[in-house]
Structure 1
Amino acid sequence: MMHRPLIEGRTLNYLRSGQGFFEGTLGQIEREATAAGVPVIPAETAHFMQTLFYGIQPEQVLEVGTAIGFSAAVMLAAMGPTGHVTTIDRFDVMREHAQTNFKRLGITNQVTLMAGEAAEILPTLTGPYDVIFLDGAKAKYLDFLPDCLRLLQPHGYLLIDDIFQGGTIFNSPKTIKHRNKAIHRKLNQLLDHVFRAPNLQASLLPLGDGLLMITPR
């Protein structure tokens, strides 16, 4: 969704270039992904996550949607040598790319890469996790929510990416293409649930394609 920004162009340009660039191998992986059109979290989301992580210093993080491993590497860069990320992906090709990148970065021993469907794996996990990052199948976010809240530390954070769907999330269902209707419906149900749940505190951040941040009350 990086080609459908939610905010004005000059502001977006500063968010993605004015905050500085990642250095070394991590920066190289980001540039390679951008050049190849591989979707990774955009710079403004990555910088926010690193700022958050430097502040709260999580030890255990769960990620749903590994892709090429860039977001896991971004998180680990701010977690220190004892930090650990457990990440789930169902696609063989993505896991292969991720494993290669983890080796390039020298962080293989800080990552547990799980193969399979998150819907099947999440119920088997015991946690707890200081942060959970959802960046997988958007239509499944609401289904994943109970397990994520079960696995989350009492003062932990659940971060859910790509909430706004290029700004279409609040459009009339009649205007949504058939292939996207389930995503549109489920994301709206997720927002309705989260902002009405008395046991949750949540905020929407206009970073990338929208980041939903949730913590238990």
Structure 2
Amino acid sequence: MLNEMMHRPVVMPELVNYMRTAQQGFPGGLGEIEQFANENGIPVIPHETAKFLDLFCASIEPRYILEIGTAIGFSASLMAQHLQTDGHLTTIDRYPQMVERAQENFKKLGLQDRITLLEGDAADILPTLSGSYDLIFMDSAKAKYIDFYPECMRLLRLGGILIIDDVFQGGTILEEESARPKRVRKIHRQLNLLLDTVLQDPQQRSCLVPLGDGLLMVRKEN
């Protein structure tokens, strides 16, 4: 479950350290979840990404959020606190140990009625979903992003935002595929295909944000 790229940020280390220490921590139980994850090497979004997501969600005040990749529920809990009064967040994860821990954290934070956790493979679950999401946050199997992308765009409302995490792979995304270890070549190939597909699509609006291991943001405009 460990993600080696968490320790290979694409921004100079001094600035990463500043972003992670100068920005205030999260209060209460949310901060405790973040601290627990960091101390135990659980792959949650780094603090600078979390602060961005916190500000972004506070700004758009989403009604419906979909998350792909729950881990122990840190990012879901972070986003859920900014839901509209009648809003709801749905999150997907296929690892039983993560599902159990996330459910405990949602209950601890009093969010169990505002978050639905679907256990299983997103490849099986996404086609069964309907509705119109204001925000989708994807932080799961990197090689599957390109497969999940059409489903995410189908599920987004017009004007909705898709945020995809960890697209830079510590900067190795720019290397030739043959230079990468064989065990990660599929991830390398699929992420490059995703970037080419999204960034060259004239029908949607997109941008790259160099926070953590890189965010790809897409606004559904067509």
Partners of 1:83 and 1:19 lie apart in 2 by 28
* Counterpart in the other structure of 1:128: 132
Aligned residue among 123, 135, 145 for 1:119: 123
Matched, 1:151 2:155: yes
Q: Does the 8 Å CA contact 2:63/2:86 hold for their aligned counterparts? A: yes
Q: Percent of pairs identical after alignment?
A: 52
Q: How does 1:1-217 map to 2 (within 5 A)?
A: 1-217=5-221
In structure 1, the residue corresponding to 2:92 is in which secondary structure? Answer: strand
How far the C-alpha of 1:33 sits from its partner, in A, is: 0.9
Output the CA distance in 2 between the equivalents of 1:155 and 1:53.
14
**Structure 2 unmatched ranges of 5 or more:** none
1:83: how far off?
2.8
Contact 2:134–2:157 (CA under 8 A) maintained in structure 1: yes
> Which letter maps to 2:167?
I
Partner SS, residue 185 of structure 2? helix
Offset of residue 80 of structure 1: 4.7
SS class of match (1:28): helix
CA distance in 2, matches of 1:80, 1:202: 25
Q: Structure 1 unaligned runs (5+)? A: none
**Is the partner of 1:186 in helix, strand or coil?**
helix
Distance 1:56 1:33 in 2: 27
Contact 2:91 2:118 in 1 (8 A): yes
The alignment partner of 1:168 has SS state of helix
Aligned residue identity for 1:74: L
Amino acid at match of 1:91: Y
* Distance in 2 of aligned mates of 1:203 and 1:161: 12
- TM-fit CA distance, 1:138: 0.5
**What is the root-mean-square deviation of aligned Cα atoms in Å?**
1.0
Whichever residue aligns with residue 113 of structure 1, its letter is: L
Give the partner amino acid of 2:24.
G
What TM-score does the superposition give when structure 2 sets the normalisation length?
Answer: 0.95
